[in-house]
């Protein structure tokens, strides 16, 4: 789900009374946590294979079928090794006697003639996103080695190879959408435990393509995940509240064995982006190029609902009528400000006009090829990585609700209804 990895000098900390992998800190100070790798405790990721236009010289036993795609998948590691062995797996998919099949080089001998075909009850072009084609496919374990600076690290990947259900698409290439196959695997997470102010906590580090994500929770509670409506991704250098103190997730060693926290020496965070925080009064230009801010938007009302959406986002469009209803029902006390993260300003304007979204709007240019560098600053500052995301503010710019989907809107309505009665 990923950053410069820095080492820092930390202040002395008290040793733990539990075990060697747990740190205990009686007073707030800089401290570190020892991490250990856990493969099946994290989430799962799904990545498509890459289609080959020709047969590599190293590969043999490729069948000759009319409806078939030869593919490969490259393995990668969050630890950025110099090399990985094995580093890729070959596969192919197609149709035989009217049934979909796939096969992959499970023994890594670069010979596809001895690999088992896995058949699925699906006709060409008849895939459905509602069907889990991989539910009967068992997970396999691949052992591999990582090489870095003349050192070898052995690890494993728990994975399965499954058909695409239409999640991965090329609008102008139906054959690709039908035949590309998916590598579904457990993410590698690094977990640790520590005690602060006589309370036990756990932490996880989850490396991903956009850097490392972190989660902190009490020992007896679950980590928040992307499926939770109020999930906010936490990255390196972000501020987290643990017990009654605030810390910066300062750095992590290059092998993910130790994570360092820096005590910010504050008991109250000046600004933040999660429920209970006070949001910074950001300034921006609206859709009509007029300068405005959160405080200006709420100046005449009691509450401000901030909506992050896009015309490309199906869940956003599905909830648009609910936002419109909120505006109609509570317009005397509620201001709405929508940030459209989209490709074309004109398309956003036409959508607003067509559906009579009669509130203030901001356009944010969407540039998927630009990656994180082109991601709008306000989205980065507020940690917006899911759409739609809703944030409800009070008059003092305190965050009353932050979340995704219908649950956030329901919580917003609850607050407005209670205050009204």
pLDDT exceeding 90 applies to what percent of the chain? Answer: 49
Cα 153–260–75 angle (5° rounding)?
Answer: 30
* Close Cβ partners of 54 (under 8 Å, ≥ 6 residues apart): none
User: Highest mean pLDDT: which of 150-154, 191-195, 262-266?
Assistant: 191-195
17 in any annotated domain: no
pLDDT in tens, 34-46: 999 887 655 678 8
The predicted model gives 112-129 an average pLDDT of 84
C-alpha–C-alpha distance, residues 11 and 31, integer Å: 7
**pLDDT of 32:** 94
Residue 180 CB neighbour total at 10 angstroms? 21
**pLDDT of 207:** 81
* Close Cβ partners of 353 (under 8 Å, ≥ 6 residues apart): none
Name which residue leads in pLDDT, 419 or 11: 419
The predicted model gives 105-131 an average pLDDT of 86
**pLDDT of 28:** 60
**pLDDT of 12:** 31
3 in any annotated domain: no
295 in any annotated domain: yes
33 and 161 assigned to the same domain: no
| CB-facing half-sphere around the CA of 144: CA atoms within 13 A | 23
**pLDDT of 359:** 95
180 and 227 assigned to the same domain: no
Judging by DSSP bridges, how do beta strands 291-293 and 303-309 pair with one another? unpaired
Name which residue leads in pLDDT, 168 or 421: 168
Q: pLDDT at residue 369 above 80?
A: no
321 and 201 assigned to the same domain: no
* Local structure of residue 278 (DSSP, 8 states): B
**pLDDT of 371:** 67
DSSP string, 71-121: EEEE---TT--SEEES-EEEEEEEEETTEEEEEE-TT-SSBGGGSPPEEES
**pLDDT of 1:** 34
271 in any annotated domain: no
287 and 415 assigned to the same domain: yes
pLDDT in tens, 291-340: 899 999 999 999 999 999 999 998 999 999 999 999 999 999 999 999 99
8 in any annotated domain: no
* Close Cβ partners of 51 (under 8 Å, ≥ 6 residues apart): 69, 70, 71, 176, 180
Looking at 186, 211, 234, which one is the last position of a domain? Answer: 186
Confidence of residue 18 (pLDDT cuts 50, 70, 90): very low
Residue 24 sits at φ, ψ, to 5 deg, of: -125, 125
**pLDDT of 2:** 33
Name which residue leads in pLDDT, 103 or 18: 103
Confidence of residue 149 (pLDDT cuts 50, 70, 90): confident
* Close Cβ partners of 356 (under 8 Å, ≥ 6 residues apart): 324
242 and 288 assigned to the same domain: no
Question: Which has the closest alpha carbon to 153: 78, 89, 212, 208?
Answer: 78
330 in any annotated domain: yes
The CA-to-CA distance between both ends of the chain, in Å, stands at: 42
288 and 395 assigned to the same domain: yes
**pLDDT of 20:** 44
CA distances from 50 to 168, 185, 238, 312 (A): 12, 16, 35, 25
Mean pLDDT score of the chain, rounded to an integer? Answer: 85
- Residue 294, sorted as left (phi over 0), alpha (psi -120 to 50) or beta, turns out to be alpha
Q: Which domain holds residue 219?
A: 22-41+190-263
Question: Which has the closest alpha carbon to 7: 263, 258, 264?
Answer: 258
Residue 185's DSSP bridge partners are 45, 159
56 and 181 assigned to the same domain: yes
Looking at 235, 263, 291, which one is the last position of a domain? Answer: 263
303 and 381 assigned to the same domain: yes
pLDDT in tens, 62-102: 998 878 999 999 988 877 888 999 999 999 999 988 889 99
Name which residue leads in pLDDT, 368 or 154: 154
**pLDDT of 156:** 86
* Local structure of residue 398 (DSSP, 8 states): B
**pLDDT of 244:** 79
Contact assessment for residue 7 and residue 18, using Cβ atoms and an 8 Å cutoff:
no
**pLDDT of 260:** 96
Domain count across the chain: 3
Torsion of CA 323, 381, 260, 16, to 10 degrees: -30
The predicted model gives 217-221 an average pLDDT of 91
- Residue 211, sorted as left (phi over 0), alpha (psi -120 to 50) or beta, turns out to be left
The predicted model gives 350-378 an average pLDDT of 88
C-alpha–C-alpha distance, residues 93 and 98, integer Å: 13
317 and 407 assigned to the same domain: yes
**pLDDT of 21:** 55
402 in any annotated domain: yes
C-alpha–C-alpha distance, residues 409 and 324, integer Å: 11
Residue 216's DSSP bridge partners are 203
Q: pLDDT at residue 209 above 80?
A: no
The CATH number of residue 343's host domain is: 3.40.30.10
DSSP string, 322-364: HHHHHHHHHTTTEEEEEEEEES-HHHHHHHHHHTT--SEEEEE
Q: pLDDT at residue 169 above 50?
A: yes
Looking at 126, 156, 186, which one is the last position of a domain? Answer: 186
163 in any annotated domain: yes
Query: Lowest-confidence range among 98-102, 114-118, 162-166, 362-366?
Result: 162-166
115 and 85 assigned to the same domain: yes
**pLDDT of 245:** 85
60 and 180 assigned to the same domain: yes
128 and 149 assigned to the same domain: yes
């Amino acid at each position: 789900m990923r950053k410069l990895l820095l080492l820092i000098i930390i202040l002395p900390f008290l040793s733990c009374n539990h075990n060697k992998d747990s740190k205990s800190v009686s007073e707030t100070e800089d401290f570190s946590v020892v991490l250990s790798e856990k493969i099946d405790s994290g989430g799962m990721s799904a990545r498509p294979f890459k289609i080959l236009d020709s047969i590599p010289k190293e590969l043999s036993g490729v069948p000759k079928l009319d409806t078939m795609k030869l593919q490969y998948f490259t393995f990668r590691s969050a630890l950025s090794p110099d090399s990985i062995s094995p580093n890729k797996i070959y596969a192919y998919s197609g149709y035989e006697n009217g049934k979909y099949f796939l096969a992959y080089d499970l023994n890594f001998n670069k010979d596809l003639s001895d690999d088992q075909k896995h058949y699925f009850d699906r006709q060409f072009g008849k895939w459905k996103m509602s069907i889990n084609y991989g539910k009967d496919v068992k997970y396999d374990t691949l052992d591999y080695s990582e090489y870095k600076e003349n050192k070898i690290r052995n690890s494993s990947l728990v994975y399965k190879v499954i058909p695409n259900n239409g999640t991965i698409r090329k609008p102008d290439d139906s054959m690709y959408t039908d035949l590309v196959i998916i590598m579904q695997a457990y993410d590698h997470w690094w977990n640790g435990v520590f005690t602060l102010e006589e309370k036990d906590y756990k932490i996880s580090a989850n490396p991903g393509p956009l850097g490392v994500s972190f989660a902190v929770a009490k020992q007896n509670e679950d980590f928040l995940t992307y499926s939770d409506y109020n999930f906010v991704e936490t990255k390196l250098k972000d501020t987290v509240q643990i017990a009654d103190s605030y810390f910066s997730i300062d750095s992590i060693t290059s092998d993910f064995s130790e994570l360092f926290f820096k005590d910010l020496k504050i008991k109250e965070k000046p600004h933040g982006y999660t429920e209970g925080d006070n949001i910074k009064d950001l300034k921006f230009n609206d859709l009509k190029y007029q300068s405005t801010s959160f405080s200006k938007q709420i100046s005449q009302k009691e509450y401000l609902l901030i909506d992050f959406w896009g015309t490309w986002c199906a869940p956003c469009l599905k909830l648009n009528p609910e936002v419109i209803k909120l505006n109609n029902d509570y317009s005397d006390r509620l201001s709405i400000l929508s940030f459209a993260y989209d490709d074309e300003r004109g398309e956003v304007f036409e959508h607003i006009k067509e559906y009579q979204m009669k509130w203030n709007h901001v356009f944010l240019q969407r540039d998927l090829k630009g990656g994180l560098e082109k991601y709008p600053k306000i989205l980065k500052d507020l940690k917006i990585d899911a759409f739609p995301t809703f944030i409800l503010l009070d008059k003092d710019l305190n965050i009353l609700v932050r979340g995704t989907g219908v649950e956030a809107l329901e919580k917003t309505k609850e607050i407005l209804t209670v205050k009204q009665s």
